[in-house]
Copies of this chain bind each other. A is one copy, B any other.
């Protein structure tokens, strides 16, 4: 039934999109958590610089961002030459490249909510944890992270959805190669370009419904626990 409703290309592209979004969100959380923590807690003057930088990837149109990334990761760019020295394939036109592009493009949506959430945790709860013998890492994971849960959810949701819908960077950097770098959003775009509106609609609605259900699950899970302040 599924096979008759979706073309094989559609299914492959959906799978690639989901994989891309999941990998991107996971890596972004890994990367942005320490950055956001630093931004939220530092008193250094560099903080303002860091905060401003963190929003910059948004300012460029995605295709242009993709273009510069292509130059960078291509065989003549620094990134590409580095990969070459390491004996690796260049990342352009590969899934890895898509991940890098999506990460760069969605980074602000993870950093900013995380930073705000960490900021709201404040210092008192961490001081309490310190007096209870928790080492810095320990208190980060057992106090700061759980109390900043909403920030993690907001950031993950925004980045996940944004990566699913992302198109410019992926098209430019990935080259729209079926089965490898062709994501669902590109396929939808292709359907529209080919004036195949029913195909576009089918896939759009699939994405929307799938995402909606996913978000419902995430938010329902979050609903059950509601706390307000870090220490009470």
Known: A59-B165, A64-B204, A123-B228. 5 other contacts (CB 8 A): A47-B219, A63-B189, A112-B154, A116-B117, A120-B150
Q: Is the CB of A59 within 8 A of B164?
A: yes
By secondary structure, the A interface counts as: helix
Please state if A60 and B208 are interface contacts (CB–CB under 8 Å): yes
With A56-B208, A113-B154: A165-B228 Cβ-Cβ less than 8 Å = no
User: Which residues of B sit under 8 angstroms from A230, Cβ to Cβ?
Assistant: 229
| Contacts A109-B109, A220-B48, A228-B120; A162 near B61 (Cβ below 8 A) | no
- A161 x B63 contact (CB < 8 A): no
Tell me if A76 counts as interface (CB < 8 A to partner B).
no
Q: Contacts A55-B157, A158-B109, A167-B168 given; indicate if A185 touches B228 (C-beta within 8 A).
A: no
Contact of A60 among B117, B186, B207, B220 (CB under 8 A): B207
With a cutoff of 8 Å between Cβ atoms, the chain B residues found around residue A55 in the complex are 157-158, 161, 211, 215
Q: In the complex, how many residues of chain A place their beta carbon closer than 8 angstroms to a beta carbon of chain B?
A: 61
Query: Measuring CB to CB, which residues of chain A are less than 8 angstroms from any residue of chain B?
Result: 47-49, 51-53, 55-56, 58-65, 67-68, 108-109, 112-113, 115-117, 119-120, 122-124, 150-151, 154, 157-158, 161-162, 164-168, 185-186, 188-189, 192, 200, 204, 207-208, 211-212, 215-216, 219-220, 223, 228-230
A211 to chain B, nearest CB (A): 5
Cα distance A228–B229 in the bound complex, in angstroms: 10
Known: A154-B116, A223-B47. A188 touches B64 (CB 8 A): yes
